[in-house]
């Protein structure tokens, strides 16, 4: 079946046509995205997110002449969006760590905790880390994050809860080094 006809069927709510389009292009689009995002898991996330958007917006879809070019161009833009979000997330983490660096070099308890905190945050999955940083460190509301990342508020809630749970486990041996006020800010 021609790509154009397949995309037209997707537009008319045909799930089977969508699955066929997905299966036919998925691997090639992941390899293409990988050239930009440099991580296989991230490239798969990018392509999956593109296909979710495609399905969600299928009724508004304008069928292009060259479907293959349209798919690759769309994944390119999705990859660029991912990289912008990743860069923003890394910037927030850097700002956070400098914000919470000890004022007094003699404050060894607090400074002893920072490397562990940094390492624990870095171990979080990319999306989870990004959402945690936006919520807990940059102070964005869950609704603002959902709009910014174009995901549901429930997903944001779940990711924040996952981050807190993972950080508690990871940092349990070091929590005695952290001031109570900062404990409250991070874990509530």
3-state secondary structure the chain: CCHHHHHHHHHCCCHHHHHHHHHHHHHHHHHHHHHHHCCHHHHHHHHHHHHHHHHHCHHHCCCCCCHHHHHHHHHHHHHHHHHHHHHHHHHHHHHHHHHCCCCCCCCHHHHHHHHHHHHHHHHCCHHHHHHHHHHHHCCCCHHHHHHHHCCCHHHHHHHHHHHHHHHHHHHHHHHHHCCHHHHHHHHC
pLDDT band (50, 70, 90) for residue 103: very low
pLDDT band (50, 70, 90) for residue 116: confident
Comparison of pLDDT for 188 and 46, the residue scoring more: 46
Q: What is the pLDDT of residue 132?
A: 87
Residue 37 reports pLDDT greater than 70: yes
pLDDT, average across residues 18-37: 95
Q: How far apart are CA 78 and CA 107, in angstroms?
A: 44
Token pair for residue 71?
Answer: 């798919």
Comparison of pLDDT for 144 and 103, the residue scoring more: 144
pTM, two decimals, is: 0.54
Hey, which of 57-71, 143-157, 163-177 has the most confident mean pLDDT?
A: 57-71
Comparison of pLDDT for 166 and 177, the residue scoring more: 166
pLDDT band (50, 70, 90) for residue 134: confident
Hey, which of 20-34, 103-117, 149-163, 165-179 has the most confident mean pLDDT?
A: 20-34
pLDDT, average across residues 168-173: 83
Percentage of the chain with pLDDT > 70?
A: 78
pLDDT band (50, 70, 90) for residue 188: low
pLDDT, average across residues 166-173: 84
Q: What is the pLDDT of residue 59?
A: 92
């Amino acid at each position: 079946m021609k790509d154009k006809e397949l995309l037209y069927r997707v537009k008319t709510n045909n799930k089977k046509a969508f699955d066929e389009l997905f299966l036919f292009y998925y691997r090639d689009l992941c390899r293409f995205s990988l050239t930009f995002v440099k991580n296989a898991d991230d490239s798969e996330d990018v392509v999956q997110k593109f296909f979710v958007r495609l399905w969600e917006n299928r009724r508004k879809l304008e069928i292009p002449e060259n479907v293959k070019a349209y798919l690759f161009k769309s994944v390119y833009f999705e990859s660029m969006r991912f990289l912008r979000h990743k860069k923003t997330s890394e910037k927030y983490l850097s700002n956070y760590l400098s914000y919470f660096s000890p004022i007094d070099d003699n404050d060894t308890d607090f400074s002893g905790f920072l490397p562990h905190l940094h390492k624990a945050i870095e171990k979080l999955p990319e999306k989870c880390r990004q959402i945690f940083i936006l919520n807990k460190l940059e102070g964005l509301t869950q609704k603002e994050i959902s709009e910014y990342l174009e995901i549901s508020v429930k997903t944001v809630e779940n990711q924040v809860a996952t981050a807190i749970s993972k950080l508690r486990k990871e940092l349990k041996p070091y929590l005695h080094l952290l001031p109570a006020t900062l404990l409250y800010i991070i874990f509530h």
